[in-house]
Chain A
Amino acid sequence: MRLKLISMVVAFAFVAACETAPEQSAASSGTGASTSSTSSTTTSSSTTSSATVAPQPQGPQAGSQEDLVVNVGDRVFFGFDKYNLTGEARSVLEKQAAWLKRYPSVTVMIEGHADERGTREYNLGLGDRRANSVKDYLVALGISPGRIKTISYGKERPVALGSNEQAWAQNRRGVTTVTRAAGS
Chain B
Amino acid sequence: MAAALLMVLAVAWPARAELKIDITRGTVEPMPIAITDFYGERLEEGQFGIDIATVVSNDLERSGLFKPIDSRAFIQTGESLNSLPRFGDWRVINAQALVQGRTQTMPDGRLKVEFRLWDVFAEQQMVGLAYFTVPKNWRRVAHIIADAIYKRITGEDGYFDTRIVYIAESGKQDRRIKRLAIMDQDGEGHRFLTDGSSLVLTPRFSPTQQEITYLSYHGNLPRVYIFHIDSGRQEVLGEFPGMTYAPRFSPDGKTVIMSAAKDGNSEIYTMDLGTRALKKLTNHSAIDTSPSFSPNGERVVFNSDRGGTQQLYIMDADGNGVTRISHGQGRYATPVWSPRGDLIAFTKMYRGQFYIGVMRTDGSGERLLAEDFLVEAPTWAPNGRVLMFFRKEPTKKDGSGGRSRLFSVDLTGQNEREVITPIDASDPAWSPLIP
Q: Does A121 contact B (CB under 8 A)?
A: yes
Chain B: CB-nearest residue to A109: B220
Query: Is A120 a contact partner of B377 (Cβ separation < 8 A)?
Result: yes
Q: Does A81 contact B (CB under 8 A)?
A: yes
Among B178, B264, B290, point to the contact of A122 (Cβ < 8 A). Answer: B290
Which residues of the partner chain A approach B173 to less than 8 Å between Cβ atoms? 158, 161
Nearest-Cβ distance from residue B353 to partner chain A, whole angstroms: 10
Chain B: CB-nearest residue to A164: B397
Query: Is A120 a contact partner of B174 (Cβ separation < 8 A)?
Result: no
Question: Known: A151-B220, A161-B397, A163-B395. Is A129-B374 also a contact (CB below 8 A)?
Answer: no
Query: Is B263 a contact partner of A122 (Cβ separation < 8 A)?
Result: no
Query: Is A121 a contact partner of B264 (Cβ separation < 8 A)?
Result: no
Nearest-Cβ distance from residue B257 to partner chain A, whole angstroms: 12
Mark interface residues in A98-114 (1 if CB within 8 Å of B CB, else 0): 00000000000000000
Query: Is A116 a contact partner of B243 (Cβ separation < 8 A)?
Result: no
Q: List residues 383-435 of chain B with CB under 8 A from any CB of chain A.
A: 392, 394-399, 401-402, 427
9-residue interface stretch from A58-66, A68-76, A131-139: A131-139
Question: Known: A159-B174, A162-B396, A163-B394. Is A120-B202 also a contact (CB below 8 A)?
Answer: yes
Q: Does B376 contact A (CB under 8 A)?
A: yes
Query: Is A121 a contact partner of B259 (Cβ separation < 8 A)?
Result: yes
Query: Is B290 a contact partner of A128 (Cβ separation < 8 A)?
Result: no
Which residues of the partner chain A approach B259 to less than 8 Å between Cβ atoms? 121, 124-125
Query: Is B174 a contact partner of A124 (Cβ separation < 8 A)?
Result: no
Q: Does B251 contact A (CB under 8 A)?
A: no
Question: Known: A152-B243, A161-B397. Is A129-B333 also a contact (CB below 8 A)?
Answer: no
Nearest-Cβ distance from residue A1 to partner chain B, whole angstroms: 20
Which residues of the partner chain A approach B347 to less than 8 Å between Cβ atoms? 119
Chain B: CB-nearest residue to A24: B397
9 nearest A-B residue pairs (beta carbon): A132-B264, A163-B394, A125-B287, A119-B333, A162-B397, A125-B266, A121-B246, A161-B399, A128-B261
